[in-house]
Amino acid sequence: MTEPKLTKVDMEKIVSLCRRRGFIFPSSEIYGGLSSCWDYGPLGVELKRNIKESWWRAMVQERDDMVGLDSSILMHPQVWEASGHLKGFSDPLVECKQCHRRWRSDEMKDSSCPSCGGGLTESRMFNLMFKTFMGPVEEEADIVYLRPETAQGIFVNFENALNTSRKRLPFGIAQIGKAFRNEITTGNFIFRSREFEQMEMEYFVKPGTDGEWFDYWVKERLNWYANLGIKKENLRLHQHAKDELAHYAVKCYDIDYLFPMGWAELEGIANRGNFDLIQHANSSGKNMDYFDEETKEHFSPLIIEPSAGVDRSALAFLCDAYDEEPDKDEIRVVLRLHPSLAPIKAAILPLSRKETLAPLSKQIYADLRQCWMVGYDDAQSIGRRYRRQDEIGTPFCVTIDFQSLEDEQVTIRERDTMRQIRVPIKELQSTLASKLSGEDLFILPLGGKIWKEG
């Protein structure tokens, strides 16, 4: 007996699934797309919201040593002078003399154009910050930049956040927001794009404690991905060698994920030392020291930074969740997303489109929407509808049949195991709540592929 052939997840499948089911579309697609910008569709926006919410919950809400921030994308240009971005945030650029395509010279293997074979210009440094003009005239004096990272918004607000929240060291400031980099080469779907979203946290500690806090945050951040279902064998730590370190960094680890194109950075965790606060103190002339009330000392805190990407996380969660398995003589495609990340938590499926089932089904649909994002599907066979929900990662389907009208019970069908249980309608909400929170593992496989793995 030959099983249907299962292929490994590849990028093409992910891109195609995302496009077809409304996770991610090319930006401005009707105009041919805009290079390396992406729009999140009805399902993608929910996945992204869930990722950001999980991060905020773990990093801010559940902790007593953290506050949030939402600083603006446009910042004072002096910020980028002090941070070193104006001078140093550049890549070496060459242009083909023949076809005028542009390339990063540090990524080229030989001296002719990879596209047409033409000769290349001399390499020159190209600053990756998008610039624009604030105020009604385009003058040198009015140049501002789209932030290339959210971190600087945190550093310049260190005193504001400290004083208004009355926190003491060690404490952190967490932020989620858009950043922009005018990359010379982009690609790998949403992995590297010119507009992207970051989840960054800066953790301020006393000198001498930075080593242990660095280790703490590496572990904490690895666990975050694992707890949300990323398989441990697809995660690795990569320590930057001395010559890989950014100018501000004392030590840096990347959390790499095994993407379809290979291992690549998912998140960077850096010990930034006291570089940032000192730069901004010097540049602004403001005192940014911390006063320790116990020891009566003034000093500049050291900073540990876990910096994650929302879009990269989304791609990793999608790739990791993607699965194909033989099901009779077909292949079942299933996104084994952690329930807290799944765009739709449950789908209401009346067994038939007959009008007798509609009122009860619609009522259940309306009731459950008060709690979660819930779907409704009454088109085609129940088997096809299960497949549609499997493919977008919906953890539970709720089937309403003619028997439901008699016994006031419905069937819950579980995505990963395809097992079914029958529950009274009046217990449906609480049953789903406990299953979604992972408390009730009754119908989940032991040692299976789902969310208790981490």
Q: Give, as ranges, the residues between 164 and 203 that touch a second copy (CB under 8 A).
A: 164-166, 173, 175, 178, 180, 182, 184, 194-195
* Number of chain positions touching a second copy (CB under 8 A): 86
Residues 232-263 as b/e (b if ≥16 CB within 10 A, e otherwise) read eebbeeeeeeeeeeeebbbbbbbbbbbbbeee
Question: Token pair 């606060």 is at which residue?
Answer: 277
Residues 81, 88 contacting (CB under 8 angstroms): no
Q: In Å, how far are 39, 86, 166, 177, 388 from 334, measured between CA atoms?
A: 23, 46, 47, 30, 9
User: Which residues are 75's β-sheet partners?
Assistant: 145
Q: Which of 16, 35, 282, 430 binds a second copy (CB under 8 A)?
A: 35
- Binding a second copy by CB under 8 A: which of 372, 387, 409, 443? 372
Site for a second copy in 301-320 (CB under 8 A): none
Strands 102-104 and 90-95: antiparallel
> What is the biggest distance separating any 2 CA atoms in the chain, rounded to whole angstroms?
79
Task: Quote the least distance from Cβ 299 to a second copy, whole Å.
Answer: 19
Q: Does 123 sit near a second copy (CB under 8 A)?
A: no
Stretch that binds a second copy, among 14-22, 208-216, 233-241, 350-358 (CB under 8 A): 14-22
Q: Is the dihedral of CA 193, 197, 199, 202 positive or negative?
A: positive
Report the residue from 9, 86, 102, 409 that binds a second copy according to the rule CB under 8 A.
Answer: 102
Only one of the segments 6-14, 53-61, 220-228, 239-247 lies at the binding site for a second copy (rule: CB under 8 A); that segment is 53-61
Q: Does 41 bind a second copy (CB under 8 A)?
A: yes
Per-residue b/e over 399-436, b at no fewer than 16 CB within 10 Å?
Answer: bbbeebeeeebbbbbbbbeeeeeeeebeebbebbeebb
Map residues 131-160 to x or -, x wherever contact with a second copy holds by CB under 8 A: xxxxxxx------x-x------x--xx-xx
Rg, C-alpha atoms of the chain:
25
* Closer of 153 and 273 to a second copy (Cβ): 153
- Please select the residue that binds a second copy; options are 9, 45, 245, 358, rule is CB under 8 A: 45
Of 11, 13, 68, 391, which one interacts with a second copy (CB under 8 A)?
68
Give the orientation angle of helix 11-21 with respect to helix 310-321, to 10 degrees: 100
Question: Cβ closer to a second copy: 14 or 173?
Answer: 173
- Residue position matching structure tokens 């010379």: 184
Asked whether position 73 contacts a second copy by CB under 8 A, the answer is yes
- Chain positions 376 to 395 lying near a second copy, rule: CB under 8 A, are 376, 379
Q: Is 75 in the site for a second copy (CB under 8 A)?
A: yes
Choice between 7 and 370, CB closer to a second copy: 370
- Confirm if 391 and 344 have CB atoms less than 8 A apart: no
Among 48, 85, 221, 385, binds a second copy (CB under 8 A): 48
Query: Interaction with a second copy in 82-101: which residues (CB under 8 A)?
Result: 93
- At 47, the amino acid letter reads L
Site for a second copy, residues 213 to 252, rule: CB under 8 A? none
Query: Based on CB atoms, which residue is closest to a second copy, 45 or 418?
Result: 45
End-to-end Cα spacing for the chain: 35
- Please, which residue, 133 or 445, has the CB nearer to a second copy? 133
**Is 299 among the residues that bind a second copy (CB under 8 A)?**
no
Closest distance to a second copy from the beta carbon of 425 (Å): 19
- What six digits make up the tokens of 363? 């009522």
